[in-house]
């Protein structure tokens, strides 16, 4: 088990990739703090992994501080931050408004800034940390109907590189995982669900991506043994963007 006795905060843990990450980190021995704006969903995930839940909106500084305070008061430390929560829109370019843009940025980018700032203190005190930020292969593919999201996820990746540079001296690694199209509750309830057939033709491995296909990449980067890997992008998309 790669994460025995490690304490892991997973945002977006109510469903989809976040839930699969919570399940996988727990299977590797971690004590999981399942965080989501959907408090009931976070509770369900936490129950399944014998972990704890925190209802929090990652775009709100006071929620994020409470998330870290509750984790440290219960477990005494934060070893892993898996940033999975995000808004995944489907909006034709002609219909994207400035309000849409700002809302995406407030969750997908402000949320990263706030969570990373908040875990930095306990991680620096321990001289140890593993931060994994989920971006998307849309930053390589320029996928349509997602321009504001693509911009936010490009920011996630660029910020990951910068933070890796800033935090390495404290024993903290910062990496990104870039999934391709994945069958999650969010995607299956959106027009993205119709893209699987097309996307499978672009993949090296021609089947539908599931949340459990993504979680092991996050678990590796969250593990102690990945300590020589930082500022990296691990693309988990069945080779869709390999060329």
Interface with ligand 4PL, residue 15, by CB under 6 A: no
Known catalytic residue at 149: yes
- State the Cα–Cα distance between residues 27 and 22, nearest whole angstrom: 9
Residues 193-212 touching ligand 4PL, rule: CB under 6 A, are: 195, 199
Position among 46, 54, 87, 226 found at the interface with ligand NAD (CB under 6 A): 87
Please identify which of the residues 149, 159, 196, 220 carries the catalytic annotation.
Answer: 149
Residues 121-140 touching ligand 4PL, rule: CB under 6 A, are: 136-138
The one of ligand 4PL, ligand NAD, none whose footprint includes residue 143, by CB under 5 to 8 A per kind, is ligand 4PL
Minimum gap (Å) between residue 180 Cβ and ligand 4PL: 5
Interface with ligand 4PL, residue 226, by CB under 6 A: no
Position among 112, 181, 215, 218 found at the interface with ligand NAD (CB under 6 A): 181
- State the Cα–Cα distance between residues 40 and 15, nearest whole angstrom: 11
Place of tokens 């997602």: 146
**Do residues 147 and 188 make contact, with C-beta atoms less than 8 angstroms apart?**
no
Enzyme catalytic residues: 149
Residues that bind ligand NAD (CB under 6 A): 11-12, 14-18, 36-38, 41, 57-59, 84-88, 107, 111, 134, 136, 179, 181-182, 184-187
């Amino acid at each position: 088990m790669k994460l025995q006795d490690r304490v892991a905060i997973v945002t977006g843990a109510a469903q989809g990739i976040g839930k699969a990450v919570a399940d996988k980190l727990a299977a590797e021995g971690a004590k999981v703090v399942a965080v989501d704006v959907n408090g009931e969903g976070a509770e369900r995930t936490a129950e399944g992994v014998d972990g704890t839940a925190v209802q929090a909106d990652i775009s709100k500084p006071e929620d994020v501080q409470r998330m870290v305070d509750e984790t440290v008061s219960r477990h005494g430390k934060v070893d892993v931050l898996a940033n999975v929560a995000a808004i995944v829109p489907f909006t034709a370019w002609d219909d994207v408004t400035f309000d849409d843009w700002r809302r995406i940025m407030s969750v997908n980018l402000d949320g990263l800034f706030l969570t990373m700032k908040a875990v930095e203190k306990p991680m620096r005190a321990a001289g140890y940390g593993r931060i994994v930020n989920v971006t998307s292969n849309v930053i390589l593919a320029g996928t349509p109907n997602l321009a504001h999201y693509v911009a936010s996820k490009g920011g996630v990746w660029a910020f990951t590189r910068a933070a890796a540079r800033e935090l390495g001296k404290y024993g903290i690694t910062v990496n990104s995982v870039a999934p391709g199209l994945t069958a999650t509750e969010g995607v299956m309830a959106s027009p993205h669900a119709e893209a699987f057939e097309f996307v499978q033709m672009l993949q090296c491995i021609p089947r539908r991506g599931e949340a459990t296909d993504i979680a092991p990449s996050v678990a590796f980067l969250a593990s102690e043994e990945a300590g020589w890997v930082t500022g990296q992008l691990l693309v988990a998309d069945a080779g869709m963007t390999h060329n």
